[in-house]
């Protein structure tokens, strides 16, 4: 069998963690996928997948091969696109990642717009509240909120957001609003482990920075869950301004400690640098840059909404 074909089949099965899932993605029969994986393992002389009655897992050697296969397949796709011409309509597959709530609010509508414009494209979106490694996880484009480390990725700035301290009017009526950051020690704190923010709550006033380590009474693993707790009148939480903006506008939440707000953090679209300039990646990045730069809630100034 063709080596690139075997590599493509293995990448699909490894990413789906399922022979049936890989077969569906590629439009192949499950027996054909099984034969391809067996042929690849025989060619390499190493087991790439561990099979059980319920799961398929990539072995340590298989993970290294999967990382290389993703890179090689991506480079071949980009070479094909470049040969077809820079004006060719994008076609093929695109893998996108973003934080969960940001993905739901902003990225999903952009993906739908993109797919309507380019009927020969398919998109796989992975929304997770952690920093992903685009190359290792086979991703093409990602949204990053916060300062960027040095890397080989290209970054396009699309806005800024800031962290805000919020509670419901009902909670503040019962417990009073904190006047200084230290007052938060007497309040019920809701914390989300789905946030990339540092554990210390940081504040700034008159050019002086202050950091507090607060003990949450409720810790949840998603920003959505933290927001629901606030809406139910339970506690004070730290959110990003784009997450809080609709609820602040509707009056369901109120911001506190505005005088101690910290500077905003950048929002960037990052993508793999490509010498050929993939039309798939370039067209999606261009569309999302235009959409996100037009979003008022992503254009937070240094201190204000």
Cα–Cα distance for residue pair 104/224, rounded to 1 Å: 11
pLDDT in tens, the chain (305 residues): 588 888 889 888 888 888 888 888 888 898 899 999 999 889 989 999 988 767 788 898 888 888 888 878 877 776 776 666 556 677 788 999 999 999 999 999 999 999 999 998 999 999 988 888 887 777 889 999 988 876 667 899 999 999 999 999 999 999 999 999 999 999 999 998 866 666 789 999 888 888 898 999 999 988 899 999 999 999 999 999 999 999 999 999 999 999 998 888 899 999 976 544 578 888 999 999 999 999 999 986 543 44
Which pairing describes strands 141-145 and 265-271: parallel, antiparallel, or unpaired?
antiparallel
Buried b or exposed e, range 188-220, using 16+ CB within 10 angstroms: bbbbbebbebeeebbbeeeeeeeeeebebeeeb
Q: What is the pLDDT of residue 274?
A: 57
Q: According to CATH, where is 1.10.10.10 located in the chain?
A: 1-84
Q: What is the pLDDT of residue 305?
A: 43
CATH topology for 1-84? Arc Repressor Mutant, subunit A (1.10.10)
Q: How many CA atoms lie within 13 A of 135 on its CB side?
A: 13
| Phi, psi dihedrals of residue 147, rounded to the nearest 5° | -65, 140
Cα–Cα distance for residue pair 265/164, rounded to 1 Å: 12
Q: What is the pLDDT of residue 86?
A: 56
Cα–Cα distance for residue pair 93/120, rounded to 1 Å: 9
Cα–Cα distance for residue pair 250/244, rounded to 1 Å: 10
Q: What is the pLDDT of residue 189?
A: 95
Alpha-helical segments (H) within the chain: 3-16, 19-26, 30-44, 60-84, 100-102, 108-117, 169-175, 223-231, 241-250, 279-293
Q: What is the pLDDT of residue 253?
A: 96
Cα–Cα distance for residue pair 143/194, rounded to 1 Å: 15
Q: What is the pLDDT of residue 256?
A: 96
Question: What's the alpha-carbon Rg for the chain, to the nearest Å?
Answer: 23
CATH class of the domain defined by 163-262: alpha beta
Q: According to CATH, where is 3.40.190.290 located in the chain?
A: 163-262
């Amino acid at each position: 069998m063709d080596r690139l074909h075997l590599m493509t089949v293995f990448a699909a099965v490894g990413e789906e963690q399922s022979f049936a899932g890989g077969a569906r993605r590629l439009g192949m029969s499950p027996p054909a996928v099984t034969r391809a994986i067996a042929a690849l393992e025989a060619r390499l002389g190493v087991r790439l997948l561990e099979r059980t009655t319920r799961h398929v897992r990539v072995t340590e050697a298989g993970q290294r091969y999967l990382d290389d296969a993703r890179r090689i397949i991506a480079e071949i796709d980009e070479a094909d696109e470049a040969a077809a011409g820079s004006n060719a309509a994008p076609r093929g597959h695109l893998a996108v990642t973003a934080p969960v709530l940001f993905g739901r609010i902003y990225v999903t509508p952009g993906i739908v717009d993109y797919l309507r414009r380019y009927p020969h494209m398919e998109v796989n979106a992975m929304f997770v509240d952690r920093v992903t490694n685009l190359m290792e996880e086979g991703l093409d484009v990602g949204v990053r909120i916060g300062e960027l480390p040095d890397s080989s990725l290209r970054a396009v700035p699309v806005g800024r957001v800031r962290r805000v301290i919020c509670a419901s009017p009902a909670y503040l009526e019962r417990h009073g609003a904190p006047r200084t950051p230290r007052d938060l020690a007497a309040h019920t704190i809701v914390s989300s482990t789905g946030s990339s923010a540092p554990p210390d709550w940081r504040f700034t006033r008159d050019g002086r920075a202050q950091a507090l380590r607060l003990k949450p009474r409720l810790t949840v693993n998603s920003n959505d869950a933290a927001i629901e707790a606030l809406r139910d009148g339970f506690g004070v939480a730290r959110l990003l301004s784009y997450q809080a903006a609709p609820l602040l506008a509707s009056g369901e939440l109120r911001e506190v400690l505005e005088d101690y707000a910290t500077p905003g953090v950048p929002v960037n679209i990052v993508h793999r640098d490509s010498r050929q300039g993939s039309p798939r990646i370039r067209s999606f990045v261009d569309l999302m840059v235009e959409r996100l730069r037009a979003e008022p809630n992503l254009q937070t100034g240094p201190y204000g909404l």
